[in-house]
Amino acid sequence: MKFKIKQFIYSLGIIGVMLMASNVYSQPRDRNFPGCEVMRGKMKDQMLEIFTQLDLSLEQEKQLQAHRDNHMGQAGEFRESLKTKKEALRNELQKEELNMEEIYKIHNELKDLHSKKADHRLEGILEVRKILTTEQFVKYMELKKGFCHMRKECK
């Protein structure tokens, strides 16, 4: 009898942990929580420090800022499009009757968006390369390695 009670208690404990874990992981990520804002501030400060170390001209600073604003806006559009398509795929997969044609269509659209996002990223890097001198770009890439890990913590 004691064995069955222990087994029952252990089973309840395991089920409880599983339910709690699923609630934690099901919460949407919030890019606006205070820790993320602090991280964004640190990243911005480090970018300003990198720009001062590169000894940029006033024209280069203006071009880089304009490029960054434009590039970030377009990157945001890609993120929203990807989010919408992923949600559409998720909804399609959860339907009672699977429409394989629609699933593959959405999947191909997702692949296309990922490809365009990668192209956009490369175009952004090439644009920065056009603005900076060869020496500045090499130094920029070296300095940038030091804070790339911070971005991953905030995503």
pLDDT tens profile 94-121 = 999 989 999 999 999 999 999 999 999 9
The average confidence (pLDDT) of the chain is 81
State which amino acid sits at residue 56: L
Query: Residue 117's domain is classified under what CATH number?
Result: 1.20.120.1490
State which amino acid sits at residue 19: L
Task: Report yes or no: 53 and 143 within 8 Å, Cβ to Cβ.
Answer: yes
Is 53 inside any structural domain? yes
Domain holding 135, by residue range, is 35-154
Per the structure, how many domains does the chain have?
Answer: 1
Is 25 inside any structural domain? no
Is 119 inside any structural domain? yes
Is 142 inside any structural domain? yes
Is 20 inside any structural domain? no
Is 10 inside any structural domain? no
pLDDT in tens, 22-61: 555 454 555 555 666 777 777 778 777 888 888 888 898 8
- Return the pLDDT at 35: 66
Is 116 inside any structural domain? yes
Is 16 inside any structural domain? no
CA distance 62 to 88: 39
- Return the pLDDT at 9: 76
